[in-house]
């Protein structure tokens, strides 16, 4: 027998997998503005992210599912999961309430559930799928399905302006809100950079885009052989086995596991001299995305290295807060890393430019966008 609930919620967020802090921040913000909020989380048994417990000021229901990716188990489990979610929503969401989705399987659920009640649907996009950026027959079918589902969506929330400009404006005619990937402001209160005895590079986040990580390992080890000592911190979830096997000079590298953003992020960044956020510049999503590392660079005053040929790369070069390098180009990376201490180098210019950039306008825009996303 299913649990009996009582209609009370203004907004229900549907999230599949471990949520990024920015995703939960919407629920946190809504609760702080007198909205009754429920988050339904499909727990897929992933260990790449830890839920930020400090921002859980809302009810959280976890539904354990028997899959981690798109496979037969996922397809078979759909009816049972849909039935549970439908029961919870129809039992607890007020008439006219908002269903907020963050993946297309859950948008599909919301599409049918909202059809029987007068619920509003809003959808947030943190990344684009390869199918959305392809011209294959399979991609065209998916885009047509997505366009149909979006007809029921009253508001679309995107994390990069490129997602709207390069894709969604072609298939979605209603309001698109740009809610950038800024970390919660209070998390960084009283952040203070510490000096270290060596140059420290940090890759902070899920361990993926492995060729760019191997590129960093090779460059740092080669520089070490030339007498230039740098150390690297890898912190985040994901499979680190192949990365450990790649490393030959172990004392130059530290690999930590998943971290809790609000609790750990300041300590992870405190001793860094460079943020390494070089993702795959051949990946279309990476070309268009605007990762939170860009904003963390401005907040901390730490220069950033990103992939060339990307939107974030364009913004980094425009502000002069770091440099770009092509994924896999070890020699170019070695050149960039070897001249960080030289007067007038890209790194020294970035340090100066970062002292002159105010993060406040970004947060003012974020506050306005958050209000448009969840309150109006």
Q: Is residue 373 part of a domain?
A: no
41, two tokens: 């989380």
Domain boundary among 149, 179, 209: 179
The predicted pLDDT at position 122 comes to: 96
Q: Is residue 375 part of a domain?
A: no
Of the candidates 292, 374, 376, the residue with the CA atom closest to the CA atom of residue 32: 374
Mean pLDDT across 209-238: 95
- Same domain, yes or no: 161 and 215: no
- Same domain, yes or no: 81 and 212: no
What's the whole-number average pLDDT of the chain?
A: 90
- Same domain, yes or no: 47 and 173: yes
Side-chain-side CA neighbours of 19 within 13 Å: the count stands at 28
Q: Is residue 362 part of a domain?
A: no
User: How far is Cα of residue 159 from the mean position of the Cα atoms in its chain?
Assistant: 9
Task: Say if residue 67's pLDDT is above 60.
Answer: yes
- Same domain, yes or no: 206 and 233: yes
151-152-155 Cα angle (round to 5): 90
- Same domain, yes or no: 288 and 151: no
User: Which of 10-14, 18-22, 314-318 is least confident?
Assistant: 18-22
Rounded (10°) angle between helices 360-374 and 21-32? 70
Asked if 281 and 309 touch (Cβ cutoff 8 Å), the reply is yes
pTM of the model: 0.90
Task: Say if residue 257's pLDDT is above 90.
Answer: no
What phi and psi, each to the nearest 5 degrees, are found at residue 146?
-60, -45
Q: Is residue 135 part of a domain?
A: yes
- Same domain, yes or no: 170 and 317: no
Domains of the chain: total: 2
User: Which of 68-77, 155-164, 269-278 is least confident?
Assistant: 68-77
Task: Say if residue 4's pLDDT is above 60.
Answer: no
Strand partners, 59: 38
Q: Is residue 368 part of a domain?
A: no
Q: Is residue 3 part of a domain?
A: no
Strand partners, 228: none
Asked if 304 and 293 touch (Cβ cutoff 8 Å), the reply is yes
- Same domain, yes or no: 168 and 72: yes
Side-chain-side CA neighbours of 110 within 13 Å: the count stands at 31
Lay out the sheet containing 322-325: strands in order across: 253-256, 230-235, 199-204, 274-277, 304-307, 322-325
- Same domain, yes or no: 143 and 226: no
The predicted pLDDT at position 133 comes to: 80
Of the candidates 253, 257, 249, the residue with the CA atom closest to the CA atom of residue 207: 257
Domain boundary among 179, 200, 219: 179
Mean pLDDT across 221-237: 95
- Structure confidence at residue 75 as a pLDDT band (50, 70, 90): confident
Q: Is residue 364 part of a domain?
A: no
3-state percent breakdown (helix, strand, coil) of the chain, nearest 5: 45, 20, 35
Rounded (10°) angle between helices 311-319 and 293-300? 20
Task: Say if residue 57's pLDDT is above 90.
Answer: no
What percentage of the chain exceeds 90 in pLDDT?
70
33, two tokens: 């503005």
312, two tokens: 């974030």
- Same domain, yes or no: 211 and 166: no
Asked if 327 and 211 touch (Cβ cutoff 8 Å), the reply is yes
Asked if 187 and 261 touch (Cβ cutoff 8 Å), the reply is yes
Mean pLDDT across 23-36: 91
Q: Is residue 4 part of a domain?
A: no
- Same domain, yes or no: 148 and 254: no
Domain of 99 in residue numbering reads as 9-179
- Same domain, yes or no: 55 and 107: yes
CATH number at residue 121: 3.40.50.2000
The predicted pLDDT at position 68 comes to: 60
224, two tokens: 């070490």
- Structure confidence at residue 47 as a pLDDT band (50, 70, 90): low
Where does the chain show beta strands of DSSP type E?
9-16, 37-43, 59-64, 93-101, 120-125, 153-158, 175-178, 199-204, 230-235, 253-256, 274-277, 304-307, 322-325
Domain boundary among 146, 179, 212: 179
- Same domain, yes or no: 125 and 97: yes
């Amino acid at each position: 027998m299913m649990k009996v609930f009582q209609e009370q919620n203004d907004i229900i967020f549907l999230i599949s997998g471990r949520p990024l802090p920015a995703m939960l921040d919407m629920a946190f913000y809504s609760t702080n503005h007198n909205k009754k909020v429920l988050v339904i989380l499909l727990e897929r048994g992933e260990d790449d992210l830890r839920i930020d417990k400090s921002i859980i000021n809302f009810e959280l229901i976890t539904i354990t599912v028997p899959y981690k990716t798109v496979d037969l188990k996922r397809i078979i489990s759909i009816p049972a999961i849909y039935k549970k979610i439908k029961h919870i929503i129809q039992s607890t969401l007020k008439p006219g309430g908002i269903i907020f989705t963050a993946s297309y399987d859950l948008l599909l659920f919301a599409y049918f559930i909202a059809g029987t009640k007068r619920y509003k649907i809003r959808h947030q996009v943190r990344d684009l799928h390869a199918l959305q950026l392809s011209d294959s027959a399979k991609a065209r079918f998916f885009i047509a399905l997505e366009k149909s589902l979006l007809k029921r969506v009253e508001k679309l929330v995107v994390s990069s302006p490129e997602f709207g400009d390069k894709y969604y404006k072609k298939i979605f005619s209603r309001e698109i809100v740009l809610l950038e990937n800024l970390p919660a402001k209070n998390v960084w209160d009283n952040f203070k950079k510490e000096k270290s005895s060596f140059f420290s590079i940090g890759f902070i986040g899920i361990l993926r885009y492995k060729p760019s990580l191997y590129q960093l390992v090779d460059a740092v080890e080669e520089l070490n052989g030339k007498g230039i000592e740098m150390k690297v911190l890898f912190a985040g979830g994901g499979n680190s086995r192949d990365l450990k096997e790649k490393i030959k000079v172990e004392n130059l590298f530290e690999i930590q596991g998943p971290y809790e953003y609000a609790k750990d992020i300041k300590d992870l960044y405190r001793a860094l001299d460079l943020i390494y956020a070089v993702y795959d510049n051949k990946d279309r999503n990476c070309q268009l995305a605007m990762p939170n590392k860009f904003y963390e660079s401005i907040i901390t005053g730490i220069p950033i290295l990103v992939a060339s040929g990307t939107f974030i790369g364009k913004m980094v070069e425009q502000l002069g807060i770091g440099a770009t390098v092509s994924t896999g180009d070890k020699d170019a990376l070695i050149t960039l890393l070897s001249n960080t201490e030289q007067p007038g180098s890209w790194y020294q210019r970035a340090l100066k430019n970062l002292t002159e950039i105010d993060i406040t306008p970004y947060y003012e825009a974020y506050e306005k966008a958050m209000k448009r996303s969840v309150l109006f």
